[in-house]
Amino acid sequence: MLEKDKIYSFRLSDSSEIIAKVVSTDSTSTTISNPFSLIPTQQGVQLLPAMMSADETKNVTINTNNITMYVETNKDVIASYIQASTGIVSAPKGILKG
């Protein structure tokens, strides 16, 4: 079951993969915020807004039947997602030296 406020990787029925934060879910629809698509490039995988023309402050609702797979997103990818969706860069973990 999807948990509210967690970031998940979704595989949709058209084979696209998106990363998004879950706002709510029920048996027919899942509401997400800040959906990003993974796009392979020569420099590696890039995150781009899943809906270029959407108002990024609004939530997106998808039909739950169109989700074929989902999993909690990898921590390294979450850091990239947070940077892409908010502009906040996470500090590397470890002991600060200075």
20-62 per-position pLDDT tens digit = 999 999 999 999 999 999 888 898 889 999 999 999 899 999 9
Q: For the structural domain made of 7-86, what CATH number should be given? A: 2.30.30.100
In Å, how far are 90, 91, 95 from 98, measured between CA atoms?
18, 15, 10
The DSSP letter of residue 73 is P
Residue 21 has a pLDDT of: 97
Instruction: Provide the residue ranges of all domains of the chain, joining segments of one domain with +.
Output: 7-86
Residue 16: pLDDT over 90: yes
pTM confidence score = 0.85
Q: Are 12 and 62 in contact (CB under 8 A)?
A: yes
